[in-house]
C-alpha cells in the first residue's frame, strides 16, 4: 500500500486539498468554495467547514488508511485571536486588512529593524498588538496555524513563513526582543518551527470524523505564496517562478536572504535556502483595461513574437511602481500607440517581459543568484506569444510547472514531515 500525504490550501475563496504520493505525483484533489457556507471570507467557521468538505471529498476518492501526514497553508498575514481551547474571540483580520491605530504603527516603526517584514498597517504584528487586550485571549494565530490546530488540538505553534510578517527573525530563528519592547505580550505568540516539521497528530475525534488512522502526523505548513512556489517543482538555487496574474510577481530560490524594504522585498526561509521576490504593479489587470480577455486571445494569435515592435513601454494601470523600480510617481508609458491593435498588445507584452527581466536582474544586484530557469504560473502562462517574448527577453530555460495548486506545495511539506517521522 503506497503511503499518501495531504496538503490543504485555505484562502479567501475556498479550500483545496491534494493527496500526494512519495514521488510527488498527485493521487487526488478537491476544491470547495467558501461562499457555500458564508458570504463572509472572515468567518473562521466557514474556513473550517470548507476544509472539512474539501477533505471529505478528497478522501472519497483515495484510500484513507494510506494517509500518513497532513499540512496546511493559509493567506499570509491573516490573524485571529483565540482562547485556550482555540475558539476565535473576534473577527479575524485578513491579509489585506489595515490596522488603523496610529499608535501601534508608530511603535512598530520605532522598534522594528528597517528590514523587518513587520512594518506596515497590514503586518501580522500590528494585528497581534491590536488583539492582545481581548478578554480571555490565550494566543494570536495565523490562519494556517488555527486550521491545523483544529486537526491536532494544538493552538500554540506556527511556522517560519507565516510568522515572518509578525516579526519573527528567520535568520536567528527566534522572536526578537524588540517585539516585547513594542509592547507585545510574548506569551501570546506561538512557538515557531520549520515548515515541514511534525507538530502533532490528529486528535481521536478528527481521525474518526474523516476515517483516518489515529497516528496521522500534522505537519507545519506555510503561506499560500510559498506553497505556490513549492508546487511548481522549483528546488534548485537560481530557479525562478513568475506569476502572470492580475499583477506580475517573481520569486527566486536563493542561498542567502535578500532584504530591500524600498522594493518591498524580504525573504522566506525554506530550510537552508531562501525565497526572495518582488511584485510589480504591471500585469494582466493592465491588459484588461485595454482589451477584454477574448480580444486578448484573438490578438495574441496574430502576434509574431520573434520580432520587436521597437516601442519601449512600461505598462501600468495608474502612476506608481514598487518593483523592480521603487517610484510611487512612476507614470505609465504606453505611447505612441500603433494603429494595429495586435501591435499595441505586443508592445505591452514586450514591456511586461522587460519588467520581468529587470526584476530578476534587480534581485541579482541585491545579492540573489543569477536566474537559471523559470517556471510560469497564472493565466498569462497559457499565452504562447507572451511566453515566446519572455523566453527571448530572459534567455534561460523555461521548465514545466508540476502543479499550479498551492495545496500541492503544502503536500510536499507533508511528505517532508512524514519522512522525518519515518512514516513515508
- Short-list 4, 70, 59, CA closest to 30: 59
Q: Specify whether 245 is located in the same domain as 203.
A: no
For the chain, the first-to-last Cα distance in angstroms comes to 11
* Cα dihedral sign, 211-212-214-217: negative
Q: Specify whether 220 is located in the same domain as 321.
A: no
Q: Domain of 126?
A: 4-226+406-420
- In this prediction, the residues of the chain whose per-residue pLDDT falls under 50 are none
- Short-list 315, 335, 334, CA closest to 325: 315
Q: Specify whether 241 is located in the same domain as 331.
A: yes
Residue 295: per-residue pLDDT: 97
Please give the grid coordinates belonging to residue 331.
507614470
- Interatomic CA distance for residues 333 and 4, integer angstroms: 50
Q: Specify whether 192 is located in the same domain as 66.
A: yes
Q: Specify whether 94 is located in the same domain as 211.
A: yes
Number of folded domains in the chain?
2
Instruction: Give the residue ranges of DSSP H helices in 60-172.
Output: 102-111, 124-131, 143-152, 160-163
Please give the grid coordinates belonging to residue 379.
493565466
Residue 1: per-residue pLDDT: 78
Residue found by looking up cell 477574448 in the block = 294
Q: Specify whether 220 is located in the same domain as 259.
A: no
Q: Specify whether 265 is located in the same domain as 127.
A: no
- Short-list 253, 227, 162, 207, CA closest to 414: 227
Q: Specify whether 180 is located in the same domain as 120.
A: yes
Residue 66: per-residue pLDDT: 97
Residue 423: per-residue pLDDT: 86
**How many other C-beta atoms can be found within 10 angstroms of the C-beta atom of residue 400?**
8
SS3 state at 340:
coil
Q: Specify whether 246 is located in the same domain as 218.
A: no
- Short-list 16, 1, 125, CA closest to 410: 16
Residue 195: per-residue pLDDT: 98
Residue 424: per-residue pLDDT: 76
Q: Specify whether 130 is located in the same domain as 243.
A: no
CATH code of the domain containing 281: 3.30.420.40
Q: Specify whether 82 is located in the same domain as 210.
A: yes
Q: Specify whether 266 is located in the same domain as 203.
A: no
Residue found by looking up cell 541585491 in the block = 366
Amino acid at each position: 500500500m503506497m503511503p499518501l500525504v495531504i496538503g490543504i490550501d485555505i484562502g479567501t475563496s475556498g479550500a483545496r486539498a491534494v493527496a500526494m504520493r512519495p514521488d510527488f505525483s498527485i493521487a487526488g484533489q478537491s476544491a470547495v468554495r467558501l461562499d457555500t457556507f458564508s458570504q463572509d471570507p472572515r468567518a473562521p467557521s466557514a474556513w473550517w467547514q470548507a476544509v472539512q468538505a474539501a477533505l471529505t471529498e478528497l478522501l472519497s476518492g483515495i484510500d484513507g488508511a494510506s494517509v500518513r501526514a497532513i499540512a496546511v497553508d493559509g493567506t499570509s498575514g491573516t490573524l485571529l485571536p483565540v482562547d485556550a481551547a482555540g475558539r476565535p474571540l473576534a473577527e479575524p483580520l485578513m491579509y489585506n486588512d489595515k490596522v488603523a491605530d496610529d499608535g501601534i504603527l508608530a511603535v512598530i516603526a520605532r522598534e522594528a529593524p528597517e528590514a523587518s517584514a513587520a512594518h506596515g498597517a497590514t503586518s501580522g504584528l500590528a494585528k497581534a498588538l491590536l488583539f492582545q487586550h481581548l478578554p480571555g485571549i490565550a494566543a494570536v494565530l495565523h490562519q494556517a496555524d488555527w486550521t491545523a490546530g483544529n486537526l491536532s488540538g494544538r493552538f500554540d505553534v506556527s511556522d517560519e513563513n507565516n510568522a515572518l510578517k509578525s516579526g519573527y527573525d528567520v535568520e536567528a530563528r527566534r522572536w526578537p526582543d524588540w517585539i516585547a519592547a513594542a509592547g507585545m505580550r510574548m506569551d501570546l505568540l506561538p512557538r515557531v518551527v520549520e515548515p515541514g516539521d511534525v507538530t502533532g497528530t490528529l486528535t481521536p475525534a478528527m481521525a474518526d470524523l474523516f476515517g483516518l488512522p489515529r497516528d496521522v502526523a500534522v505537519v507545519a505548513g506555510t503561506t499560500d505564496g510559498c506553497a505556490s512556489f513549492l508546487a511548481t517543482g522549483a528546488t534548485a538555487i537560481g530557479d525562478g517562478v513568475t506569476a502572470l496574474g492580475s499583477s506580475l510577481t517573481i520569486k527566486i530560490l536563493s542561498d542567502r536572504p535578500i532584504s530591500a524594504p524600498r522594493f518591498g522585498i524580504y525573504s522566506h526561509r525554506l530550510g537552508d535556502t531562501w525565497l526572495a521576490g518582488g511584485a510589480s504593479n504591471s500585469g494582466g489587470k493592465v491588459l484588461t483595461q485595454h482589451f477584454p480577455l477574448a480580444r486578448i486571445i484573438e490578438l495574441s494569435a496574430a502576434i509574431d513574437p520573434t520580432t520587436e515592435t521597437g516601442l519601449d513601454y512600461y505598462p501600468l494601470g495608474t502612476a506608481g511602481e514598487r518593483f523592480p523600480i521603487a517610484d510611487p510617481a512612476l507614470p505609465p508609458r504606453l505611447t505612441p500607440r500603433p494603429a494595429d491593435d495586435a501591435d499595441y498588445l505586443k508592445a505591452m507584452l514586450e514591456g511586461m517581459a522587460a519588467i520581468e527581466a529587470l526584476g530578476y536582474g534587480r534581485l541579482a544586484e541585491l545579492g540573489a543568484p543569477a536566474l537559471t530557469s523559470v517556471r510560469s504560473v497564472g493565466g498569462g502562462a497559457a499565452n504562447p506569444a507572451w511566453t515566446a517574448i519572455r523566453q527571448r527577453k530572459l534567455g534561460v530555460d523555461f521548465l514545466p510547472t508540476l502543479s499550479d495548486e498551492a495545496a500541492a506545495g503544502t503536500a510536499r511539506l507533508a511528505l517532508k514531515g512524514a519522512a522525518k517521522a519515518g512514516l513515508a
